[in-house]
Amino acid sequence: MTVLRSLTAADAPAVRRVYGGAAATFLGRSAMTAQEAEEYVARVRGWAGADPVEQYVLGVDVAGDLVGIVKLAHRPDGHGRVRYALREKRWGRGYATRAVEELVTFAFTTVGLDSLGARHHPGNPASGRVLEKAGFTRVGMVNGMIEYRLLEAVPGAGGGPRRGGGPPARGRRGGGGGVCGD
Could you report the per-residue pLDDT of 28-79, keeping only the tens digit for each?
Answer: 676 788 999 999 999 999 888 888 888 999 999 998 989 999 999 988 789 9
Kindly give the pairing relationship between strand 145-151 and strand 137-142.
antiparallel
Give the helix ranges, DSSP H, for 95-169: 95-106, 125-133
Q: Work out the pLDDT band at 154, boundaries 50, 70, 90.
A: very low
Q: Work out the pLDDT band at 26, boundaries 50, 70, 90.
A: low
Amino acid at 180: C
Q: Work out the pLDDT band at 180, boundaries 50, 70, 90.
A: very low
The sign one gets for the Cα dihedral 52, 139, 168, 143 is: positive
Give the helix ranges, DSSP H, for 5-150: 12-18, 21-27, 34-48, 95-106, 125-133
Of 181, 145, 179, nearest to 23 by C-alpha is: 179
State how far the Cα of 161 lies from the Cα of 148, in Å rounded to an integer.
Answer: 14
Task: Please report the pLDDT score of residue 178 as a whole number.
Answer: 36
DSSP 156: T
Based on DSSP, count helices (H) and strands (E) in the chain, helices before strands: 5, 8
Asked whether residue 181 carries a pLDDT value surpassing 60, the answer given is no
Asked whether residue 18 carries a pLDDT value surpassing 80, the answer given is yes
Q: How far is CA 161 from CA 14, 78, 95, 172, 176, in A?
A: 32, 14, 20, 22, 19
Global pTM reads: 0.80
Q: Work out the pLDDT band at 152, boundaries 50, 70, 90.
A: confident
Q: How far is CA 107 from CA 55, 86, 162, in A?
A: 11, 20, 14
